[in-house]
Structure 1
Amino acid sequence: MSVSGLSKRFGDRQAVSGLTFEVTRGRAFGLLGPNGSGKTTTVRLLTGLLRPDGGEVALFGERLTEASADGLRARIGVQTDTSLYPSLSARENLRAWGELYGLSRATLDVRIDEVLEVLGLSERAGSLVGQLSKGMRQKLAVGRAVLHTPELLFLDEPTAGLDPEAANDLIAYLTGMVRAANTTVIICTHQLHGLETLCDDIGILKDGTLLTAGDVPTLLHRKWPAQRYSVTVGSDPARAAEVISSVDGLTAEVVAGEVTFSTADEDAVPAAVAALVRHDVPVRAVVPQRPTIEQLYFATLAEEGAA
């Protein structure tokens, strides 16, 4: 999927402004941003439900137009809300949508059982949707989107209303789809829990503008080129920090009882340990502190706010 110069205005409000990014087949892209940043509008533009004021979208190498939209949408799955049939059971909802997707009865029977099982809804398969909790309806909406095993899957706040265990299960399922079925996933969310294991690439959106986008390791390294390390010692941490700071190019500090320092030179790490040993400072552990998507998200938004 590729997006170039995508823009959309509603009256006086510029909802999306010049979005440009690309997602390679079989990868998960997290479009992150606070509420009102334009994520849902972007999904509707990417799926042809809204017509852009400018720019274009290509799905599976084909330009998304009014003429091509229906054919392309047959190959994608979309979850943007929990609008289900409240007077039908969970199983009946999935069957109705599966028939719309054109799945055969035999295939549909198997897929419904698989989806209900993986989403933890098997025991409530016969319950009317109107009797299900918000979290269960949210899971069922995701199940509806993945029922026909789409090549490209759009999810808008899929973990909203889910408890931590259910959210973890959903992220694990999506990760499996990406890795095993080569499915491309676009997940729009401001809830960052679990994204480390799912997202290969991210984009951070604010007020309709894409602040940054790219693969996660590159973005993290660009933001924090120096690797941070935490050192646990068996004596005075302040003394250990002083010893490490005596090594050329290193400056250590004590944070919450742990000695920390940053360096872009991997050879500096054994030099720091050697210095501690020479000064009879017992070294218990040296652990690299990996920056996270969550840290990148908040740091990027803070920089934008300060600009």
Structure 2
Amino acid sequence: MITYKTCTDVTINEIFQAFSLGFSDYILPLTMSQDAFEARFFGPEGNALNLSFMAFDQNHPIGLILSGIRVFDGLATMRCGTLCLSPDYRGQGISQKLFDMHKSTALTFQCKQLFLEVIKDNHRAVKFYENCGYKHVYTLKYYSSMIQTIASPTDTLPYIVKQVTFDKLESFRKSLLDCHISWQSDTPYYASSTHESLLGAYHADRQVALIAMSSQGKINFLWVHPTCRHQGLGRSMIQKAAQAQNVEKVTICLPSNASLEDFLRKLGFQKEPIEQCEMYLPL
């Protein structure tokens, strides 16, 4: 008999068992320790136990949906942090039941939309979400580069680069009302991190550029004032942040953005083969 429980009523060990089983045949290997799983999925990913659910066959964990709520793209949003099911139990309506619980909870908390990311080539999952009412809105693309391949600016730039506070960067990001940034790169994702490199560039006390880079070299935020572009400032900011983090490789994830992709390619970034669909369901 299949039963369902809120994740506040189960153990983290059971949650991890369901996660490991559900992703045992995934298109990309997802191998991590239980401690790493808990730190990531109930840390920066933003999932909450009271918003997440599990499926059991007798006492055996077989399915999991993780959920979190935040203001995203200006709206109260319930994100599906993961939905997975043991391969032996697929096609029996269990995923649909977990999703129905997820959606019902979003309505209870007065969310305005549901949101998730799914690998573009995972056609079965994409079809399932489409059948649930989701629409593919943005495509996430991944780029990477060894820092030594990024050419150095040829001219000495007239800017002072210094550390900035998270609050300052967050305040500026919030001012960009029509700027879509992926869930895993937006400021709430690294708000509690003590290892993010946050740098600002200034000219005559005027802020002209900002960058946020993780300790692994992931560029979470990069902005250059329009009047200061095409001068090598963006490239310089990447180099300085990478130097601060002591990384040899830098990565970035971004929604479809032709001008930014052109900028990355000119610096020598290579596009990774994987792409993700960002899918939305208005409530």
| TM-score over 0.5 for the pair | no
- Normalising to structure 2: TM-score of the pair? 0.29
Higher strand share: 2
Higher helix share: 1
